[in-house]
Amino acid sequence: MLFGELITDRVITGKQGIEELYNKSFYGRPKGDLLEISLTEAAYLILMNKIAVELEGKVLGFKEFFLKASSLVKNFELHYIVYKDMRERGYFIQPSVTGFRVYPRGGRPGKMPAEYFVYVISERAPLYLAGLKKNLDAADNLNKSLVLAIVDEDSDITYYGAKKTTPSGSYKLEWKKHLTIASLLEDRVVVWEPEASALLHDKGFFGKYIGDGYLQLSLVESGYLLKKEVFGIEKQGNGKLNFDGFSGIASEIESDFMIKFMAYEALRDSGIVPKTGFKFGSHFRVYKNFETISTITHSDYLVHAIEHDHVFSLQQLSRAVRLANSVRKEMIYAVADSDVHFIVIGRIRL
């Protein structure tokens, strides 16, 4: 049996450890003649009977070591669960500052670079968008894929891949300007002119008919058409509205109007047609290749607009991604900052 010693927050073995553990299976990191093993690795090695760890001259059993490690390292249990899962599925995996580096199948440390950064997080913890973006940038810079390993209450792990994306579509419409004057009613807008209604609906997939020739539009659609000067909007008692006036009223009706609008505008301007994603619990479902209303098919993905200081509830994230995947769509978050950028998050099978 190989012996190691628990020293502060790592386990140290002699040269034999380098030969038996590192050279064969890439456990730990050689430091001169010694092998330095993280507590996560050590717990797994104890479980596998590959090492015995001593503290103050006494060998620790799995239970004693686990309790000790749990008191020394934050989120030790989570990291242990993920480490064990990846090892058991044949990956070479090394601890890094924020989680693990995982090597591609067939790959190993030294031979080729790691493929994934795995960031470990509990189902219950908040996931800060700012932190996610930092991890995304770091992974991007090193040409790695970012993986979130979320450990649920039952200690099951779900792996999500996150990456930046730039949605685009084929939709182009040369808009006529000043088509008509629409009315802002309580929380939606109506176009009363049959010709304008037909054009907006059939060629642009805006709005929904509420009667022959009468087209009802959502607030984001209306704001977009107003900003592009396709039509004017008036409100009983307020007269004609400019975009600022309209968006002020719209923001009172729905507090997240502006971030939704920014996402909507970015998508439309990229040739994509967004419609409400309410039935999927997201802000938008999105059509990449809309031509006319008569040739429309299934929407391509779901988009949810969030602010730059958003904090994900992982339960909500899980629900959103799972639902999107269940209808074979991707789940994309549109981050409304000074401009809009997009992050796609999906389950992956490692």
For residues 274 and 285, is the Cβ–Cβ distance under 8 A? yes
| 207 in contact with its own copies (CB under 8 A) | yes
Q: Which of 23, 168, 292, 316 is close enough to bind its own copies by CB under 8 A?
A: 316
Pairing outcome for strands 340-347 and 330-336: antiparallel
Contact 314, 125 (CB under 8 A): yes
**60 neighbors 39 (Cβ within 8 angstroms):** no
Q: Per CB under 8 A, does 301 bind its own copies?
A: no
Q: Which is closer to its own copies, CB of 220 or CB of 303? A: 220
Binding flags for its own copies, 318-337, as an x/- string (CB under 8 A) = xxx-xx--xx----------
Q: Which of 27, 65, 80, 333 binds its own copies (CB under 8 A)?
A: 80
Under rule CB under 8 A, residue 194 binds its own copies: no
Only one of the segments 136-144, 160-168, 181-189, 286-294 lies at the binding site for its own copies (rule: CB under 8 A); that segment is 181-189
H-run or E-run covering 210:
strand 208-211
Residue selected from 9, 23, 62, 309 as contacting its own copies according to rule CB under 8 A = 62
DSSP state letters, 117-161: EEEEEETTSEEEHHHHHHHHHHHHHTT-EEEEEEE-TTS-EEEEE
Distance of CA 126 to the CA centre of its chain: 13
Phi-psi region of 202 (alpha: psi -120 to 50; beta: other; left: phi over 0): alpha
- Cβ-proximal residues to 252 (8 Å cutoff; 6+ apart), any chain: none
Q: Which of residues 15-44 bind its own copies (CB under 8 A)?
A: none
What one-character-per-residue DSSP string does 278-315 give?
GGGTEEEEEESS---GGG-----EEEEEEETT-EEEHH
CB of 110 to its own copies, least distance (A): 29
Residue nearer to its own copies on the CB measure, 270 or 313? 313
Which residue's structure tokens are 């059993």?
61
| H or E element at residue 72 | helix 62-72
Q: Which of residues 115-154 bind its own copies (CB under 8 A)?
A: 122-124, 150, 152-154
Q: Which of 279, 292, 293, 337 binds its own copies (CB under 8 A)?
A: 279
Comparing CB distances to its own copies, the nearer of 67 and 130 is 67
The answer to whether the CB of 205 falls within 8 A of the CB of 275 is: yes
The one among 15, 24, 54, 67 contacting its own copies by CB under 8 A:
67
Choice between 133 and 208, CB closer to its own copies? 208
The answer to the question of residue 168 lying near its own copies (CB under 8 A) is no
Q: Tell me which residues touch its own copies (CB under 8 A).
A: 47, 62-63, 66-67, 70-71, 74-77, 80-81, 84, 122-124, 150, 152-156, 158, 183, 185-188, 190, 192, 207-208, 210-212, 214, 216, 218-220, 236, 253-254, 275-276, 278-282, 314-316, 318-320, 322-323, 326-327
